[in-house]
């Protein structure tokens, strides 16, 4: 099966089990994250640092570095899984979610504003007894 990559049959089974495990984890984790999003999260023109950015400045930097390194690793392995067995697109999306980069909030708002994505998110929220996400569209300069 994976002889052309130089991998043994045992490695193929581990890749298969990892893929099934990631799908199972996604089925559990994604609804948990969707339910935890505040309903007004996307009503602001931009995200700012919360109260946590004022506490333990050194811990925030360590967390930021670890989270971005993990995001880069997810991007790398997700790209590999596009050609190898595995959940490549899901892993890439996880990596983008973990990374901090300029325009990330705007990209998230754009993705969530797609009708099918918003309907799916609000369906999960409704099943868990949560209010639907509220979206407000802002012009590029941040005005309403």
Q: Which bin fits 103, alpha (ψ -120 to 50), beta or left (φ > 0)? A: left
Could you tell me the residue range of the domain that residue 38 belongs to?
3-46+53-127
137 lies in a domain? no
Residues 114 and 136 sit within 8 Å (Cβ to Cβ):
no
Query: Whole-angstrom distance between the N-terminal and C-terminal Cα of the chain?
Result: 56
| Overall domain count for the chain | 1
The secondary structure of residue 38, as a DSSP letter, is -
Inside any domain, residue 61: yes
- 133 domain residue, yes or no: no
pTM over 0.85, yes/no: no
Flag whether 141 is in a domain. Answer: no
Residue 29 lies in a domain: yes
In a domain, 142, yes or no: no
Q: Would residue 138 count as lying in a domain?
A: no
pLDDT single digits (tens) 109-139: 888 888 998 998 899 999 999 999 988 765 4
Domain presence at residue 13:
yes
- Could you read off the pLDDT of 68-91 as tens digits, one per residue? 999 898 888 888 878 876 677 777
**Angle at the Cα of 72 from the Cα atoms of 17 and 135, rounded to 5 degrees:** 95
């Amino acid at each position: 099966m994976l002889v052309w990559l130089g991998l043994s049959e045992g490695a193929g089974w581990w890749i298969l089990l990892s893929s099934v495990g990631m799908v199972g984890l996604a089925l559990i984790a994604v609804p948990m994250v969707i339910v935890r999003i505040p309903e007004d999260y996307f009503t602001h023109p931009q995200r700012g640092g919360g109260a946590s950015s004022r506490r333990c400045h050194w811990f925030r930097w360590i967390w930021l570095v670890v989270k971005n390194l993990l995001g880069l690793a997810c991007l790398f392995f997700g790209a590999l899984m596009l050609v190898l067995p595995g959940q490549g697109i899901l892993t890439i999306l996880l990596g983008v979610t973990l990374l901090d980069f300029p325009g990330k909030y705007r990209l998230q708002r754009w993705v969530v504003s797609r009708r099918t994505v918003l309907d799916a998110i609000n369906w999960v929220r409704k099943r868990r007894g949560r209010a639907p996400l509220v979206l407000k569209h802002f012009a590029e300069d941040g005005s309403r």
